[in-house]
């Protein structure tokens, strides 16, 4: 079952902040965040495994709610290099742990303008 990402697209000015959400109707084992620039392969950002977890990666951070059904990716003081499509990949908790079976959301296209 595919997770739902929102918004589908967002346009920012440099220095502005953005939040991208990833929601599932079922509890998740893990959430993975990737960024993909046009014509390139996806690049790993971070993995969240525990309910209530928060992780940071420079000015990009993410959270995983206590019920493990929603994750949010936070981009602060955005830079031009943040432009791309952000995907969340999820694993269902009822699959009995990680089986390597990531289901990706449809992506959120982020455009950062000067």
- Token pair in block for residue 39: 């014509």
For residue 75, what are the CA distances in angstroms to 4, 26, 78, 91, 103?
19, 26, 6, 23, 23
Q: Is position 74 an interface residue for other proteins (rule: CB under 8 A)?
A: no
What minimum distance in Å lies between the beta carbon of 26 and other proteins? 16
> Cβ distance 45 to 75 under 8 Å?
no
Q: Is position 51 an interface residue for other proteins (rule: CB under 8 A)?
A: no
Q: Is position 30 an interface residue for other proteins (rule: CB under 8 A)?
A: yes
Candidate list 64, 85, 86, 110; residue touching other proteins; CB under 8 A: 85
Q: Is position 95 an interface residue for other proteins (rule: CB under 8 A)?
A: no
């Amino acid at each position: 079952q595919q997770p739902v990402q929102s918004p589908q697209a967002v346009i920012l000015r440099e220095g502005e902040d953005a939040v991208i959400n990833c929601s599932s109707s079922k509890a998740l084992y893990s959430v993975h965040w990737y960024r993909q620039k046009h014509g390139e392969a996806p690049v790993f950002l971070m993995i969240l495994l525990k309910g209530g977890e928060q992780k940071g990666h420079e000015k990009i951070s993410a959270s995983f709610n206590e019920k493990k059904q929603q994750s949010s990716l936070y981009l602060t003081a955005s830079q031009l290099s943040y432009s791309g499509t952000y995907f969340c990949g999820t694993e269902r908790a009822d699959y009995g742990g990680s089986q390597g079976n990531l289901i990706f959301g449809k992506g959120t296209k982020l455009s950062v303008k000067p």
